[in-house]
Amino acid sequence: MSEVAALVRRGAGARKYLSTIVLSIQDALTYRASAVVWMLVDFIPSVVMILVWKAAYSGRTQVGGYSLSEMITYYLLTGIISGALTSHAEWTFNWEVRDGRLTPQLARPIHYPLVVICRETGWLITKFVVGLPVFLLLVYIFRDYFLIPLLSGETWLGLAVVAFLGYVILSEIGACLGCISLWTVEAAGMFGLWWSASSVLSGSLLPMELLPRPLYALAYVMPYRWTAYFPVRVLLGKISETEIWHGALFQLGWVAVLTLLLAVLWKAGTRRYEGWGG
Amino acid sequence: MRRYGRLLAAFFSNCVAREMIFRTHFITSLIGGYGWSLVMLLFLATVVQRVQSLGVWQLPDIYVLMGTFMIVQGTTQFLLEDNLWQISSYVREGTLDFILTKPVDSQFLVSLRFLKLPALGLLIPGTVLVILGARMPLEPLDLLLYLAGVAAGVAIFYSIGFMLATTTIWFVRADMGGLVYGLVDVMRFPADVFPRALRLTFTYVLPLVFIASVPTQTLQHRAGLATPLAGMMAAVVMFGLARLLWRFALRFYSSASS
C-alpha cells in the first residue's frame, strides 16, 4: 500500500512540472505574434550568413568540403534547431533573483531550476510550432539549394533522441548560468558573452571544420557541439546510425555531468542567497 | 545650445554615479557588449580568408566595416538604448507630464536622459579595427567625409530607434523593435551581399546602408562624393521624420495622472 502511495505521490510530483509546461504554452500562445517575430529575429543571422556564403562561393564548387547547397542547408537547419532547442533559463533566474521573486518560490514544494526549465520548454514548443511556417518560407526562398533530408526510420528516431538530449544539455547550461545570479544578483552582462561564445562552439556560426584550429579543439571538448552541429549533421545524413547512438551516449555523459553541476551550484547558491522582497 | 550641453554633462555625471553603484554589472556589461561583435568578425574574417575576397571586399575592408559598425552602434546605444523603453512607461504612468512642462525640448529629454556608459566600450575595438584596415595614406577629405558618414550613421540609427520607441505610445508591445534591431545588426555585413531588392530597400526606404557600408567605402577610396552626401541627406530626412512623428504622437497623449 505504501508503495502505491509513493507511486501516486511521484505521479503528482511529475504532474506539477507537466502543468507548468502546459501553463507556459497557454501563456506563450497569448503572445503568438511575439513568437513569430522572435523566430524571425532568430533566423536573421542565419539568412545573412547564407547570403555571405552565396557571395563567397561565386563560381567555387566546394569550400571546406561543403558544396553551396550543403552550406545553405546547414545554416537553415542550424537556424531552426538552435531556435527550437535554446532555452534561456538564465534570464528567468536573473529576473527573479533581482526582483526578489525567488524567495517565495523557495518555500514551495518544487525544485525551482526544474520549474524554470519547464516554463522555458512551453515557450520553446510554442516558438517551434508557430515558427515552423517561417522556416518553411525560407526553405521555399532557397528551394534551389535546400537538400531535403532523405533519412532512414532509425536515423529519424536517432535525430529525435539527439535533439531531445541537446535540448536537455542547453537547458541545464542555462540553469547553471542562472545560478550565478545567486552570487552576483545582476549577471545579465555575462550571459551575452557566454551565448556569443556558445554560438561559435556549437557550430551555429560556422561548420566546426572551418573554425581556426584552437577554437576547433575547444569546440571539440565542450558540450555545445552536441546541441547544434551534431543534430544538424545527423539531419544532413552525414552521420551513420551507429555513430548517432555513440553520439547520444556522449550526450548522456554531458547530461550527467551538468545535472551534477546544477545540483551543486543550486545547493551552494541557495545557501548563500539573501532574499530581498517577495 | 549651451544649456543643452550643460544638461548633457549633468546627465553624464549622474549616469556615471549610477553605474558606479553596480560596478560588477558595469564591467560585465562592458565585456558582454563585445561578444556578438567578435563572433561576427570571426565569421566574416574566416569566410573571407577561405575565399580571398567577397566581391570587392577584402580582409582590410572587412575590418573597417566591422569597426565602423561598432563605432556607430556603440555611440547610438550610449545615447539612446537606456531611454528607449522608458518612453512607454512615461506615457503609462503619466510622468511625461513632468517632462512636457520643463523648459527643455521634450525629445531631447526623453531620448538622452539615461546614457548607457558600457556601450562606449565598443568604440575602442571599433577604432582599432578601422585603423588596422584603413588604406594608407589617408586623404584628409576622405577622413572628413568618413567622420561625417559615421555621424550620419549614428543619426539614422538613432532616428529609427527613436521612431520605434515613439510608436510605443500607441502599442505597448516592443517586439517590432527586436525585429528592426535585428535588421540593423546585419548592416555590419557588406551591403553587396544582399539581393538587389533588399539593397534598394536598405538604400531608399530604410536607409541602413549608410550606417556602415557607405562610410567604409568612403574611407577605402571606393565612393565618390555623391554617396557620402546622400548619406548625410538620408540622416537629415530620417531625423526630421523622427521629430515629426514625436510631435504627432504627443497630440495623442492624454495625461494619466490627476
Size of interface A-B (CB pairs under 8 A): 109
| Cβ–Cβ below 8 Å for B185 and A52 | no
Nearest partner of B206 among B181, B227, B170, B223, judged by Cα = B181
Q: Which residue in B176, B185, B194 is closest to A37 by CB distance?
A: B176
Determine which of A52, A90, A127 to mutate to test the interface with B (most B C-beta atoms within 10 Å): A52
What does the pLDDT look like over A153-206, one tens digit per residue? Answer: 999 999 999 999 999 999 999 999 888 888 876 667 778 888 888 999 999 999
Nearest-CB residue to B192 (from A40, A55, A212): A55
Q: Give the nearest chain B residue to A61 (CA atoms).
A: B51
Return d(Cα B148, Cα B4) in angstroms, integer: 22
pLDDT at residue A91, rounded to an integer: 84
Nearest chain B alpha carbon to A205: B43
Asked if the structure places residue A25 within a domain, the reply is no
CA dihedral defined by A13, A104, A25, A118, rounded to 10 degrees? Answer: -50
Are the beta carbons of A210 and B194 separated by less than 8 Å?
no
The answer to whether B46 contacts A206, with C-beta atoms less than 8 Å apart, is yes
Asked whether residue A24 is domain-assigned, the answer is no
Domain count, chain A: 1
Residues of chain A in contact with residue B38, where contact means CB-CB under 8 angstroms, are 196
Percent of chain A clearing pLDDT 70 (strictly above) = 92
Q: What pLDDT, on a 0 to 100 scale, did the predictor assign at position A228?
A: 92
Q: Minimal Cα distance from A50: which residue of B?
A: B193
Compute φ and ψ for B55, nearest 5 degrees.
65, -120
Question: Rounded to a whole number, what is the distance in Å from the CA of B94 to chain A's nearest CA?
Answer: 23
Residues of the domain holding A201:
32-272
Report the chain B residue with the minimal C-alpha distance to residue A59: B51
* The dihedral formed by the CA atoms of A47, A49, A50 and A51, expressed in degrees to the nearest 10: 90
> CA-CA distance, A122 to A176, in Å (whole number)?
19
Q: Work out the pLDDT band at A42, boundaries 50, 70, 90.
A: confident
Lowest mean pLDDT among A7-11, A72-76, A120-124, A230-234: A7-11
Give the separation between CA B105 and CA B101, rounded to whole angstroms: 10
Residue ranges per structural domain of chain B: 2-250
Helices (H), chain A: 2-30, 32-57, 68-85, 89-98, 102-106, 112-141, 153-184, 188-201, 213-221, 229-235, 241-272
- The string of pLDDT tens digits covering residues B230-241 is 999 999 999 999
The verdict on A205 touching B (C-beta cutoff 8 Å) is yes
- For residue A1, being part of any structural domain is answered with no
Q: B144: which 3 cell numbers?
A: 572628413
Domain presence at residue A132: yes
Residue B78 pLDDT exceeds 70:
yes
Q: What is the pLDDT of residue A9?
A: 60
Q: Are B24 and A205 within 8 A, CB to CB?
A: no
pLDDT of residue A250: 96
Residues of A in contact with B33 (CB under 8 A): 189, 192
Q: Which residue has the cell 545567486?
A: A182
In a domain, A43, yes or no: yes
Interface confidence, given as ipTM, is 0.84
- Contact yes or no for B34 and A193 at CB 8 A: yes
- Considering only CB atoms, which chain B residues are within 8 Å of A190? 28, 31-32
Interface test with A, best of B20, B36, B47 (most A CBs within 10 A): B47
Residue A27 counted as domain residue: no
Confidence category of residue A1, pLDDT binned at 50, 70, 90 = very low
For the ranges A39-53, A143-157, A170-184, B144-158, the one whose mean pLDDT is highest: B144-158
The span from the CA of B174 to the CA of A33, in Å, is: 11
| A218 in contact with B, Cβ within 8 Å | no
